[in-house]
Every structure is written in C-alpha cells, then in structure tokens.
Amino acid sequence: MSIWRPRWREARSDPAGPLATPDTSRYRQVDGLRTLAILPVVLLHAGIDWSPGDAGVTIFFVISGFVITNLVMRERDRRGGFRVGAFYARRAIKLVPPLVVFVLVPTLVYAVFADIVWARVLGQVLFVYNWVEAAVGTSGVLPTSTVVWSLAIEEQFYLVFAVLWIVLLRSSRWQNWLIVLCVATVVWSTASRIVLTEAGAGHGRLYHGTDARIDAIALGMLVAVAIRAHRRGRLEWLGAFGRGWVAISAVAVFVLSLAIPSAWFRSTFLYSAHGIAVAALILAVLLARPEDRLARGIDTILGSRLMVAIGLASYSIYLSHLIVLAGLNRLLPDRPPIAFEAIAVVSSVLVGWLGYRLIEVPAQRLRRLVAERPPPAMTAS
C-alpha cells in the first residue's frame, strides 16, 4: 500500500450522497484534522508562543472519542458483539511500539547521565502520568517524555469505556444509555473545572486532570453516535450541519475563544468551547453535501495527501518532536528565530513521519491477528 494512498480512499462517495460513506473504517477528513491538532503543538514547543498548542490537545481528545466509539459500534454492527481482549490488544499494538522507541529507550539512555525517578517513569508506562505531573510537575523523568500525560487520559478513557461498552451492549437501549453517559460526563467534567477553579486549583491540576478534560472525549463519542443514527435514517435534522458555513463557524468559535482574556473563562469554559467547536467541525466535514462548494473546498483541504499523511503520523510526531527540538537546540545554539522554527517544524514532521512508516505501519500488521476470531454474540438488538 502506498503511503500516499492509505485506507481513506473508500471514503469518497457518489455524487448523490455525502462526502463520506457510512461504513468506512477510516475517514480521511478526520486524519486531516489530526494535522490541525499536531502542528500547533509542534509550533508552540518550537518557540512560537502564539500557537494554540494547548488547544491542539483538545482536538486530539475529541477525535479519540469519535474514532474509538465509531470503531466499536462498527464492530458491533458487523460482528454482533465486542471482544475486550482484542480491543486492548489493538490499542497496545498502536501505542506501545512508538512509546518504547521515543520514550522508554531514550529514558534509559538519559538515566546514565541524570537522575531518574523510576516511580514517575512507571507512571508513564502505566498511563497515569497526567496525575503524576499534576501533583509533582515534570521533574524526575526524561524532559522530552512529558507529552505522554495526554496519552494517559486517553488510555484511562479506553480502560473504562471498554468495560462499560460490554455492559451497555447487553441492553436493547444501549444507544440511549451511551448518550446519557456521554452527556453526564460532559456536565460532570465541566462542573469539575468550575468547582476546582473556585477552590483555587492551579493550572496543572485543571490542565492535566482526567476529570477536568474528559468532556472533550465524551463530545467525540456523541458525534460518533449522532452520525451513526443519521446514516440510519434518524436525526434527519443533523444534515443541517453538513454545510460549509458550519465548519467555518466552528473554526471561528475555536479561534475567537482563544482571545477571551478572562482567567476564569480560560480555566472553565475554554475547554468546553474548543470541544464543542471541534465536535461541530467533525459533523460538518463528515456530513458535508457535495453540492455545497464551500464544503467541497474544506473537504479537499482536509482530505489532501499532505494533510492526511501528517495526520496519520501525528502520534509519532507527538512523541518524537521534543527529542528533535532538543537536538536542534544543541546543534544550532545561535540561529535566527524564524529560521530555527521553520527547520524545527519540518524536521519534527519528517522524523515523526519516518517513525510512523518504520514503527507504526509494521506493527499495525499484527492487528490482523486479533481480528480473525469473531466476538461473542450479544443479546441486544
């Protein structure tokens, strides 16, 4: 399979339907959105202070909720059930190889020259590092490995969601219960930020706490459920989101919310504004109608080869870019800022892309081994 033609080709539809088909296993537009998430992170860490890198993490959270929920619902529809062991195996195949190469091996090398708190490294391995960083900061670990805090939040979600999914599928009203669960999570997470802010919690607690950030993932889950319902002839009104102006409005809300100076707003509802904006943007691009010229233009941009290629490599870029930046800082101590930032961004993307091709793609072939046996049938209809 060519790197420039990954598994999103089937997402093109005939002229009479939306720009993405209901049964596609991968949406190229969502992979393009990953690029809009990772580039602000790299730009911020490269020294461009105005880049909304923190907001890029929220984009990743919404996408994760959407993708995982879409996949497990698709597995239920096609195979009649759910295998929790296979689910965790697929997550491990996706996450562990790059984590070993870009986090664990460099940590072992770093430990030869510096003091390491191995309990905190264990927190990275066990995906609870977000709580470690919220409590004690970034000391005691490889400096370039601190980005794994966001992976910890996602993995905690996967752990709980897989168990809940087994329970939900035993009910004929699993979709309704899933919606209730998602809405309750959004309300609880938002309320948690308000309570924590009023109690004087610091930025680290609000930024890294699972309870304070999980609403973005829940919003992505709601998008997946809504799109599935729409594809099956329900929620017809949802088609109104498939207009180019909705996508533009979502981007405008996302950007303009960054300009609100209130510290209280930034600690409480900024994450909400970003999560809702990204959820609306996903709805807009996946339900976009071909006759809408603006929607077609957005689809062309997000689905372009470059955007999709970077998006597919976003995980490896995320894990490796701080290593690249640290190396460039040593190699180019005296450099013009703009030139360094350009070199840093390009180098980070290239190294991450190589990591994707050389580490992630070979590892993903193992996923076929966990997809052969069908899951146990569920009683729910």
The rounded distance, in Å, linking the Cα atoms of 113 and 147 is: 21
- 337-355 and 305-312 helices, crossing angle to 10°: 70
Instruction: Give the pTM.
Output: 0.89
For residues 164-174, average pLDDT: 89
For 23-35, write each residue's pLDDT tens digit. Answer: 444 689 999 999 9
In residues, how long is the chain? 381
Condensed to tens digits (0 to 9), the pLDDT of residues 255-264 reads 999 999 999 9
Show the tokens assigned to 147.
Answer: 């980005």
pLDDT at 376: 54
Q: How far is CA 30 from CA 213, 302, 303, 368, in A?
A: 20, 8, 8, 23
Q: What is the DSSP string of 249-298?
A: HHHHHHHHHTT---HHHHHHTHHHHHHHHHHHHHHHHHS--TT-HHHHHH
Per-residue pLDDT at 26: 67
pLDDT in tens, 347-364: 999 999 999 999 999 998
* Two tokens, residue 202: 């610091």
Question: For position 372, what pLDDT does the model report?
Answer: 53
